[in-house]
Amino acid sequence: MISLDLSGKKALVMGVANARSLGWAIAEQLLAAGARVAFSYQGERLRPELEKLTKDYSGVLLRQADATSEDDLTALFAAIKAEFGQLDAVVHAIGFAPREAMEGRFLDTTAADWNTTLSVSAYSLVSMCRHAEPLLTEGSSVISLTYHASQKVVPKYNVMGVAKAALEAATRYLAAEMGAKGVRVNTISAGPMRTIAARSIPGFSTMYDQAAKAAPLGRNATSQEVGKLGLFLLSDLASGITGQVVYVDAGSSVMAMKMDN
């Protein structure tokens, strides 16, 4: 049996809102493997939930940072430098699109909604990596979370599909540049999961049920399975993998259609 020991390793997870968050599913695996974990959260109203989730773990660092604020990112990484000195693993679990951009037609996407969605959901990966770069060790690993609507049209996903396409392309460009310092950058393409972010997608429940029916495994992947893939990609077991979009969706993305038997 292979068990991962990340004791002595330092990680940052950005984007945990509650116990259902995919960022938390990955953080739980990192903590169980012995890593020391820093968490950043968007606004102070989220802090009590994070305090509750992390109360049994020692050495945890909690820090507010809006991912679109250069000042917040500067302060966050200064705090991590002071407390941890280095980073071996970084998790970007952040996404946002204004609700109206997902309710109407893609054709009607406003420039403001386009810019907000791509700034929060894609550009923030680039700025996060730039701020993290001085702290990243040789062999360290960065991951983010994407969705198959980057590749195929998913009704109502609209500008968020474009943001995920940008996130996946950014992953390849970041991997190409950061590889010289031994840093790997990958993104996990997760199937639908019941989280706060998912609740803002119109028709999510139908999408969730249809993905399960279409999947070769006959179900949706779980957030624990996202967590395990995250741990693998952040560990030395994945030392040869970078620039990739790695799916954990019970196989639903490989199906062009499902025939009823």
Q: Which residues are catalytic?
A: 147, 157
- Binding track, positions 36-65, relative to ligand NAD; x by CB under 6 A: ------x-----------------------
Is 97 assigned a ligand-binding role in the annotation? yes
Residue 142 within binding range of ligand NAD, rule CB under 6 A: no
Which residues ranging from 15 to 34 are in contact with ligand NAD (CB under 6 A)?
A: 15-17, 21-23
User: Quick one: three-class SS letters along 50-91?
Assistant: HHHHHCCCCCCEEEECCCCCHHHHHHHHHHHHHHCCCEEEEE
Q: Which residues of 190-224 are buried (b: 16+ CB within 10 A; e: fewer)?
A: bbbbebebbebbeebeebbeebbebbeeeebbebe
List 76, 87, 197, 250, residue binding ligand NAD (CB under 6 A):
197
| Number of residues this chain uses to bind ligand NAD (CB under 6 A) | 25
* Residue tagged 């038997």 (tokens): 261
Residue 131 parent element (H or E): helix 124-132
**Closer Cβ to ligand NAD, 22 or 215, answer by number:** 22
The correct pick among 195, 235, 242, 244 for binding ligand NAD (CB under 6 A) is 195
- For 254, residues 6+ apart whose C-beta sits below 8 A from its C-beta are 216
- Amino acid identity of 2? I
Q: How many residues does the chain have?
A: 261
What is the per-residue DSSP string for 183-201?
A: -EEEEEEE----SHHHHTS
Residue with Cβ nearer ligand NAD (195 or 242): 195
Q: Which is nearer to ligand NAD, 15 or 87 (CB)?
A: 15
- Residue closer to ligand NAD by CB (options 99, 181) is 99
Member of 145, 159, 178, 214 binding ligand NAD (CB under 6 A): 145
C-beta of residue 12 within 8 angstroms of C-beta of residue 90: yes
Chain centroid to CA 225 = 14
Contacting residue, 47, 57, 64, 66, with ligand NAD by CB under 6 A: 66
Q: Is 230 annotated as a binding residue?
A: no
Binding mask 95-134 for ligand NAD (x = CB under 6 A): xx-----------------------x--------------
Q: Which residues bind ligand NAD (CB under 6 A)?
A: 15-17, 21-23, 42, 66-68, 93-96, 120, 145-147, 190, 192-193, 195-198
